[in-house]
Amino acid sequence: MPPISGLYRDLAGLLDRRRVLTGREDLLAYANDATPARVLPAAVVVPVDGAEIAAVLRYADRRCIPVVPRGAGTSLSGGATPLPGSIVLDLKRLDRIVEIDKANLMAVVECGVVTQRFQAAVEDVGLFYPPDPQSLSVCTMGGNVATRAGGPRGVKYGTTKDYVLGLEAVLPDGSLTGYGGKSVKMSSGYDLARLLTGSEGTLAVITRIMARLLPLPPARQTMLAIFPELDPAAQCVADLMAEGAGPCALELLDRVLVNCIEDFLHMGLPREVEALLLIEVDGYPAQVERDSRLIEDLCRRYGSREVTVAADAKEAESLWRARRALLPAVSLRAPTVLTEDATVPRSRVPEMVRAIRRIARANQVEVGVCGHAGDGNLHPAILADRRDPELMGRVARTVAEIGREALKLGGTLSGEHGIGTHKAAYLEWEFGPPGVELMRRIKKAFDPNGIMNPGKIFTDG
């Protein structure tokens, strides 16, 4: 690798030198994502189009310099943590909503478009883009595609992977590739868009996304159900879906996390409860009314002592804002918070909730349980302190045991955050050596020199 001064000179020859950063203060701003590890890269570049990305990748590929694609850096799995000596590609300047095509219910966006901005733009014309990661006010569409991000609405609408009609991407050798487009159907060759979706920056840089849209549901209603016990609340989640109540969002929060939010926002949430379910239904008004009634009955059958309905859109938004504030709220309680991502078939949610509590107790680690429980995706929030190696050892054991338990119950290591660095060591538990070896061969075909985000998904790049 060239010395830093040489690297700066070389990169400044490829794109405007004001968009090449090598100063220590600048690099510090990119040293971490939303996980505790901090690593300074050698340089950060801020390209504005695919041609600049191609030039940087070609340069890095010839010299075997690792490249870390970065959207907003909100990864919870270490996916956007830099590597020593790496070039970070900050993709936020590729931020154009190129087209919203109402007739074909689709849109074309660049990878750096912030998800919430995209959602608002399509809603302005009566359309709907459902994926709603709770980081949506900052995270990018490229980051969402690269991680197959989900969110509360996954329970009814699926996750980002279900809204990718096509992609454009730059390969490590600088060539541009595209797959898919405006057609709803496509059966030509391998589905490369599907393969790049969830590839966590290890195969190529996704530059453009052709996103599927839906008509905007005309009505929605948000409800809050309060449970004196956690177990029946978890059982209620599993049965709500089986009974066909069809919520579009179904979130579970336990007492630890309800109290963290209340400490942070002082919004009058009941501190003494063991569990809250935050539920939303959408569709035509008659359907919303029917589903709301069904849900209320079921919650009461499972011992909910109170079910309230948000009076209007403003009150509903304040409940969802509280849910989105969860991570900052928990961060007030502990210097380091790890958000786990264990996912199980939803009928196994009650068992998984019990297992998480058992594992936390055994390792003497404080864990709050929440999650997009309606689709089986739990997010145990582990309260930790990265300055305490002994505690971090117990936290690592907790993460591994939660992952093993999810697999034992027929689930997966990650429902939506990706493998990143955090779970790379456990990948073989899910796919076995032949499955992981096949994935490595796919990576080698895309990235023969191993420059694309090495150490993510696979421990050894």
Ligand X SMILES: Cc1cc2nc3c(=O)[nH]c(=O)nc-3n(C[C@H](O)[C@H](O)[C@H](O)COP(=O)(O)OP(=O)(O)OC[C@H]3O[C@@H](n4cnc5c(N)ncnc54)[C@H](O)[C@@H]3O)c2cc1C
Q: Which residues bind ligand X (CB under 6 A)?
A: 33-34, 68-76, 79-80, 91, 111, 133-135, 139-140, 142-144, 146-147, 149-151, 200-201, 205-206, 327, 416-417, 453, 456
In angstroms, rounded to a whole number, what is the distance separating the alpha carbons of residues 403 and 412? 8
Closest to ligand X by CB, 141 or 307: 141
**In whole angstroms, how close is the CB of 303 to ligand X at the nearest point?**
28
**In whole angstroms, how close is the CB of 237 to ligand X at the nearest point?**
17
**In whole angstroms, how close is the CB of 274 to ligand X at the nearest point?**
23
CB 411 within 8 A of CB 352: yes
**In whole angstroms, how close is the CB of 377 to ligand X at the nearest point?**
8
SS3 label, residue 384: strand
CB 230 within 8 A of CB 276: no
Closest to ligand X by CB, 149 or 413: 149
Contacts 24+ apart (CB under 8 A), 243-247: 243/294, 243/298, 244/294, 245/281, 245/291, 245/294, 245/295, 245/298, 246/156, 246/281, 246/283, 246/291, 247/155, 247/156, 247/279, 247/280, 247/281, 247/291, 247/295, 247/374
Closest to ligand X by CB, 144 or 259: 144
Residue in 142, 200, 138 with CA at minimum distance from that of residue 167:
142
Structure tokens belonging to residue 150:
């989900």
CB 59 within 8 A of CB 14: yes
CA dihedral of residues 153, 195, 441, 411 (deg, nearest 10): 20
**In whole angstroms, how close is the CB of 163 to ligand X at the nearest point?**
13
Closest to ligand X by CB, 87 or 288: 87
**In whole angstroms, how close is the CB of 453 to ligand X at the nearest point?**
5
**In whole angstroms, how close is the CB of 84 to ligand X at the nearest point?**
16
Structure tokens belonging to residue 258:
């309800």
Closest to ligand X by CB, 140 or 292: 140
Residue in 351, 395, 394 with CA at minimum distance from that of residue 373:
351
Q: Order across the sheet with 370-372: list the strands.
A: 306-309, 219-227, 275-283, 249-254, 370-372, 377-378
**In whole angstroms, how close is the CB of 204 to ligand X at the nearest point?**
7
SS3 label, residue 207: strand
CB 136 within 8 A of CB 112: no
Closest to ligand X by CB, 230 or 326: 326
**In whole angstroms, how close is the CB of 198 to ligand X at the nearest point?**
9
Closest to ligand X by CB, 54 or 139: 139
**In whole angstroms, how close is the CB of 3 to ligand X at the nearest point?**
25
Instruction: Count CB neighbours of 436 within 10 A.
Output: 18
Closest to ligand X by CB, 93 or 394: 93
227 backbone dihedrals φ, ψ, rounded to 5°: -120, 135
**CA distance to 21, 82, 323, 402, per residue, from 426 (Å):** 35, 21, 29, 11
In angstroms, rounded to a whole number, what is the distance separating the alpha carbons of residues 252 and 258? 10
Closest to ligand X by CB, 195 or 327: 327
Closest to ligand X by CB, 151 or 368: 151
